[in-house]
Amino acid sequence: MSTAELGLPVNVPSTALFTDRYELTMLQAALRSGAAHRRSVFEAFTRRLPEGRRYGVVAGTGRVLDAVENFRFDAPVLDFLRREGVVDEPTLEWLAGYRFSGDIWGYPEGEVYFPGSPVLRVEGSFAEAVLLETVVLSILNHDSAIAAAASRMAVAAGGRPLMEMGARRTHELAAVAASRAAYVGGFRTSSNLAAGFRYGIPTVGTSAHAFTLVHDTERDAFTAQVESLGRGTTLLVDTYDVGEAVRAAVEIAGPELGAVRIDSGDLLLLAHRVRQQLDDLGARDTKIVVTSDLDEYAIASLAAAPVDSYGVGTSLVTGSGQPTCSMVYKLVAREDSAGRLVPVAKKSMGGKTSVGGRKWAARRVDADGVAAAEVIGSGEIPSDLADRQLLVPLARAGSIIGREPLDAARLRHIEARASLPLSATQLSRGEPVLPTELL
């Protein structure tokens, strides 16, 4: 299924230069040695979860597939590489015809993962697979970090809606990817119109303090907004005096006022005061939206407050203190001179060792159906785990076969998180909620 078939209006441009120079210099040397054509298996995984996190969230898989499909070296790109002397002419000729023709397997988007989980497995010639390292890691590390933060916030919100509003706190293109990852992790809407246009994420938004300040009075601003957007709009009530603003808001919009938003101050105290005031004024159905530098801990602290929804920006798009998942992309198997696929692995000090071999992954569950362990192996899979395998086909012989609607990934994450032990939802620091078993 293509992006067009999914109803997505924006195609990804060439991703060929979303890479590091050494990918191309390795390619040149491998073409000369003959190793470029050896069948190879690369895996993306993380050796550990970010400090204190109980589980990771796979996000960005759909963007990875777009990036692979659009990894093309067109004439301007080749001219740049030639002009800069990055690689020689034989390598440029090879790049001109580059099309990934291998297979990709991976955890489906929205699934949870743990240390050592082979989140993505890329199989093909060394030449075609090694070029994808940087763009694959760039996407997975960013998007999975955002989705993990979003998931924690969704847990803290306890079912109350979450709005992503972090575009002004990150790179303009990263903001769109962050909106997508946040949606996978449990957010319902975004303020980012590009995210709505590209991925179909529902968008929301009404007004900022500037709208109130540009009018002569707060009442003038509220009147203009209600007359333009209707009584169901959300009025921002903390520009001047919150109590006076709530009173004016209900007088102007009536009890049909959709919501009021609080963006500063003691949110816990103000939420209780505003709820009481709204009820006393007859606006019992008017909702309360809070914003103001929220993270999962601030959201959890408001669990007992009469808050109906949250808007989160800075903390979300920066991974709530963990902006990367530290995933790596390693060669784990390659063809030997006899045509056999043999395991390979880096051996080093300092915790950077890898486990060789083309791996499978499965999740063992207990008698109650609760996840008990992440089991990873490179040999034959035990019969009791055969129907619990996690990797799914994403590309076959170069053709993308794993695209799916974003809502499928979002629903999958809700189900995957629900299958974990209850301690997975604790916000306190701790070890991964599942142990990783190597077979």
Whole-prediction pTM: 0.94
Residues 152 and 316 sit within 8 Å (Cβ to Cβ): no
Q: Is the pLDDT of residue 3 over 80?
A: no
- Domain 158-317 is of which CATH architecture? Alpha-Beta Barrel (3.20)
Residues of the chain with CATH 3.20.140.10: 21-131+326-438
Q: Is the pLDDT of residue 6 over 70?
A: no
Angle (CA) 162-276-239 rounded to 5° is 65
Residues of the chain with CATH 3.20.20.70: 158-317
Question: pLDDT-based confidence at 354, cuts 50/70/90?
Answer: confident
CA 252/CA 192 separation, integer angstroms = 29
- The pLDDT tens digits for 225-263 are 999 999 999 999 999 999 999 999 999 999 999 999 999
- The pLDDT tens digits for 268-277 are 999 999 999 9
In this structure, is the dihedral angle defined by the CA atoms of residues 118, 124, 127 and 132, taken in order, positive or negative? negative
Find the mean pLDDT for residues 51-79. 95
Question: pLDDT-based confidence at 184, cuts 50/70/90?
Answer: very high
Q: Is the pLDDT of residue 301 over 60?
A: yes
Residue 347, pLDDT score: 81
Q: How many CA atoms lie within 13 A of 295 on its CB side?
A: 13
Within a 10 A sphere around the Cβ of 5, how many other Cβ atoms?
8
- The pLDDT tens digits for 373-390 are 999 999 899 999 999 999
Domain topology for 21-131+326-438: nicotinate phosphoribosyltransferase (3.20.140)
